[in-house]
Chain A
């Protein structure tokens, strides 16, 4: 089921379905590797509740919740999922 990255809990992973938002920000997100089918894990939420720390393509990135809500993902329920066409976890 699709949801936004904002709703994903700490420790959970999801596969990016769609990246939305204002043009410059969106382009930046894509360039940083948040492209469709990339697997993203929520690592941590900042002490004041925002922003969030993500893990993708082998590195950590922080995003604000208001921007994370523009990223549509499908949650990966268990670790077995994502063997097929998973992106960003190549090799």
Chain B
């Protein structure tokens, strides 16, 4: 049995999902696309899975989230829908409800945040709401786990007995009524044939939804009749087709709310939000506060919490490594295999796991910003700035995520409403220095710029942003000419993020990263080990300088020479960085023939401070890692797009590093 969880953004959908599902969770993608689809079994009900849908305001086809939701509901035919409605913002939330009702799928309304309504002396007449909508309404508080057992029970009942919404007719104005009914009647057989609920299809046709029109495969005559009905309605109402339907729905919602809702004058949560916004979106304070918050996050992540955890982890891994190495030696393992396990696999994986803490801590902060409602303020505050490069404020969110990891960042760009904004955001995101590059920065900064750690770190991040801005300016004037997407963004009240939601998100992200470490990166390190221990004739080599890896590095060295990076070991490390950026460090350690602890000192043998800067700039900007590139391919929808990204990023990186190195050299810093 499948139950779909549908609702507006910010209505507490994820919280509800996390509360009702147990440990059997599966995070995947919706068919054919990369929008995350979370599925989980309801606690105590084996075989009953809940699918968490993207948060949407409507079932139109303007954003990919809406199209995905619509297709999922129409094609996968869930046994029931739980429509989660924010009781504190009931009018606008019911707008989606009105459309879900038209789908004629068994449905239950979960009226969330009822505790908040009651605490603020508001009330909602549940029975009246139920009778008006023809759908069972269960008041709940997802956060405080109230009403959840009843919700599950009622939903199961509705699904088993196929209790469809009792009412679909909400027309008020005669003209709209006539048009919808005439069209419903006309298309009934098509709707049946293509399995689209007739009523839903009819209102969409009145609205002028192109996708539905095509799906119904209507005859020319039928289409003309529909247009005629719509024209008549429009002439009668003195409004237009879209407004007619919206008006009909809101009219009904207002009537219903007038009879069943006693709104609190001003809720405590609203007043608290206004107070917080007095600072956070303040005319003068907002921007400094935003950068202050970002700086604190990075400081805490990289200097305070993350680095400490990372050190512990590294020493733990070293301890285990020593033990494992000794055990394998005792066992008398073949020296080549021993080398593969210890020098190849274990060293690579432990280097990568050492910075898992950075990812976890960064995602912790980002999810706190997202869940508390601050991200919406960031979009509000930063919109004008982003519009200058042809984007909207909402793009700041994926871009900030890009500082964590490009893969989820690129994926999170999917929530943007227009294809154009999405593509552009996706292309600019890799300029945001991702977490995997941190070990490279940390290593080089410790080796060359120990006195100015935070400063150099900030400078690197800012260089990335600067190049993103330049690229954005160029793109919005060339490839992506055209108006940015409409910016219509809700500002939810600030809320305390749910601990469970944040922890589950962290768990998902960490698991994802660990998976990468043990699959992708493991394979990459084994390949590097192989390239390093064998020459082109597959003979085992004593000296790395004779290996295949060195051969490839030497081939590419002339390409890097103008950047002051002519040493084959550097080019080799950069090549291996394509598998994952953190691998650059482990490769350098292997090639310099030192442990990672003493690597910082060894670097002075093949870098000057200036070429180190050049190297850092190149690492910051050049092609994203394989996992990110694979995500690009999916998001841009073409192999060509992916190749262009690789080429573009690498060219920009080469040019930037070249400029920095040459200018520095002329200034005599070489």
| B243 CB to nearest chain A CB (Å) | 6
Contacts of A29 in B (CB 8 A): 486, 488
Are B489 and A91 neighbours in the complex by a CB distance under 8 Å? no
**Nearest B residue (CB) for A27:** B242
Contacts of B263 in A (CB 8 A): 58, 91
Contacts of B287 in A (CB 8 A): 47
- Whether A28 touches B258, Cβ cut-off 8 Å, given contacts A33-B95, A57-B92, is no
Contacts of B243 in A (CB 8 A): 19, 30, 35-36
Q: Encode contact with B along A7-36: 1 for CB under 8 Å, 0 otherwise.
A: 000000000000100111111111111011
Looking at the complex, which of B176-184, B276-284, B543-551, B661-669 is the stretch in contact with chain A? B276-284
Are A30 and B486 neighbours in the complex by a CB distance under 8 Å? no
Contacts of B277 in A (CB 8 A): 44
Are A47 and B246 neighbours in the complex by a CB distance under 8 Å? no
- In angstroms, Cα B381 to Cα A90, docked, is 31
Are A60 and B490 neighbours in the complex by a CB distance under 8 Å? yes
B567 at the interface (CB under 8 A from A): no
B530 at the interface (CB under 8 A from A): no
Select which of B58, B257, B384, B393 is within 8 A of A90 by beta carbon.
B257
Are A35 and B250 neighbours in the complex by a CB distance under 8 Å? yes
Are A58 and B486 neighbours in the complex by a CB distance under 8 Å? no
**Nearest B residue (CB) for A60:** B491
Contact-residue size bin, chain B (C-beta under 8 Å from the other chain): 35 or more
| B172 CB to nearest chain A CB (Å) | 13
Contacts of A32 in B (CB 8 A): 57, 92, 488, 490
B141 at the interface (CB under 8 A from A): no
Are A31 and B60 neighbours in the complex by a CB distance under 8 Å? yes
Are A50 and B384 neighbours in the complex by a CB distance under 8 Å? yes
Q: Encode contact with A along B89-104: 1 for CB under 8 Å, 0 otherwise.
A: 1111001000000000
Are A87 and B486 neighbours in the complex by a CB distance under 8 Å? no
Q: Encode contact with A along B360-396: 1 for CB under 8 Å, 0 otherwise.
A: 0000000000000000100111011101000001000
- In angstroms, Cα B57 to Cα A32, docked, is 8
- In angstroms, Cα B488 to Cα A62, docked, is 6
- Whether A88 touches B242, Cβ cut-off 8 Å, given contacts A58-B263, A63-B488, is no
B303 at the interface (CB under 8 A from A): no
| B497 CB to nearest chain A CB (Å) | 19
| Interface of B, helix, strand, loop or mixed by DSSP | helix
Contacts of B255 in A (CB 8 A): 90
Contacts of B258 in A (CB 8 A): 90-91
Q: Encode contact with B along A45-88: 1 for CB under 8 Å, 0 otherwise.
A: 11111110100011111111001000000000000000000011
Contacting A at CB under 8 A, from B69-118, are 88-92, 95
Select which of A36, A49, A53 is within 8 A of B247 by beta carbon.
A36
Q: Encode contact with A along B238-281: 1 for CB under 8 Å, 0 otherwise.
A: 00001100110010001101110111000000000100010001
- Whether A50 touches B488, Cβ cut-off 8 Å, given contacts A27-B242, A58-B88, A90-B261, is no
- In angstroms, Cα B57 to Cα A31, docked, is 8
Are A30 and B257 neighbours in the complex by a CB distance under 8 Å? no
**Nearest A residue (CB) for B266:** A58
Are A49 and B384 neighbours in the complex by a CB distance under 8 Å? yes
Contacts of A91 in B (CB 8 A): 257-259, 261-263
- In angstroms, Cα B286 to Cα A19, docked, is 31
**Nearest B residue (CB) for A32:** B488
- In angstroms, Cα B492 to Cα A35, docked, is 20
- In angstroms, Cα B183 to Cα A79, docked, is 43
Contacts of B91 in A (CB 8 A): 33, 57-58, 88, 90
- Whether A61 touches B95, Cβ cut-off 8 Å, given contacts A44-B277, A50-B383, A91-B257, is no
B487 at the interface (CB under 8 A from A): yes
- Whether A62 touches B257, Cβ cut-off 8 Å, given contacts A24-B62, A48-B385, A87-B250, is no
| B381 CB to nearest chain A CB (Å) | 6
| A45 CB to nearest chain B CB (Å) | 8
Contacts of A48 in B (CB 8 A): 381, 383-385
**Nearest A residue (CB) for B283:** A47
Q: Name the residue in A30, A45, A51, A59 with the highest tally of chain B Cβ atoms < 10 Å from its Cβ.
A: A59
**Nearest A residue (CB) for B491:** A60
Q: Encode contact with A along B385-417: 1 for CB under 8 Å, 0 otherwise.
A: 101000001000000000000000000000001
- In angstroms, Cα B491 to Cα A60, docked, is 5
Are B380 and A62 neighbours in the complex by a CB distance under 8 Å? yes
| B121 CB to nearest chain A CB (Å) | 13
Select which of B88, B261, B273, B491 is within 8 A of A62 by beta carbon.
B491
- Whether A53 touches B246, Cβ cut-off 8 Å, given contacts A33-B91, A46-B281, A60-B491, is no
- Whether A27 touches B246, Cβ cut-off 8 Å, given contacts A57-B91, A88-B91, is yes
Are B246 and A61 neighbours in the complex by a CB distance under 8 Å? no
Contacts of A87 in B (CB 8 A): 250, 254
- In angstroms, Cα B286 to Cα A48, docked, is 10
Are B491 and A28 neighbours in the complex by a CB distance under 8 Å? no
Contacts of A53 in B (CB 8 A): 281, 380, 491
- In angstroms, Cα B394 to Cα A64, docked, is 13
- Whether A33 touches B62, Cβ cut-off 8 Å, given contacts A24-B486, A28-B486, A58-B88, is no
| B388 CB to nearest chain A CB (Å) | 10
**Nearest A residue (CB) for B489:** A62
Select which of A19, A23, A46 is within 8 A of B384 by beta carbon.
A46
- In angstroms, Cα B253 to Cα A90, docked, is 9
- In angstroms, Cα B60 to Cα A53, docked, is 24
| B659 CB to nearest chain A CB (Å) | 31
**Nearest A residue (CB) for B256:** A90
Are B254 and A28 neighbours in the complex by a CB distance under 8 Å? no
**Nearest B residue (CB) for A44:** B281
Are B284 and A47 neighbours in the complex by a CB distance under 8 Å? yes
| A81 CB to nearest chain B CB (Å) | 18
Q: Name the residue in B58, B90, B283, B486 with the highest tally of chain A Cβ atoms < 10 Å from its Cβ.
A: B486
Contacts of A49 in B (CB 8 A): 384
Contacts of A47 in B (CB 8 A): 281-284, 286-287, 381
Nearest first, the 3 closest Cβ-Cβ pairs linking A and B are A25-B486, A48-B384, A60-B491
Residues of A that sit less than 8 Å from B by CB: 19, 22-33, 35-36, 44-51, 53, 57-64, 67, 87-88, 90-91
- Give 13 A-B contacts (CB < 8 Å), ordered by A residue: A30-B247, A31-B246, A33-B95, A35-B250, A36-B247, A51-B393, A59-B492, A63-B488, A64-B487, A67-B488, A90-B255, A90-B261, A91-B261
Residues of B that sit less than 8 Å from A by CB: 57-58, 60, 62, 88-92, 95, 207, 242-243, 246-247, 250, 254-255, 257-259, 261-263, 273, 277, 281-284, 286-287, 376, 379-381, 383-385, 387, 393, 417, 483, 486-492
In the complex, besides A32-B92, A46-B281, A62-B487, 17 extra interface pairs with C-beta distance below 8 angstroms are A22-B486, A23-B242, A25-B486, A36-B247, A46-B286, A47-B282, A48-B384, A48-B385, A49-B384, A57-B91, A58-B89, A62-B379, A62-B383, A64-B487, A87-B254, A88-B254, A91-B263
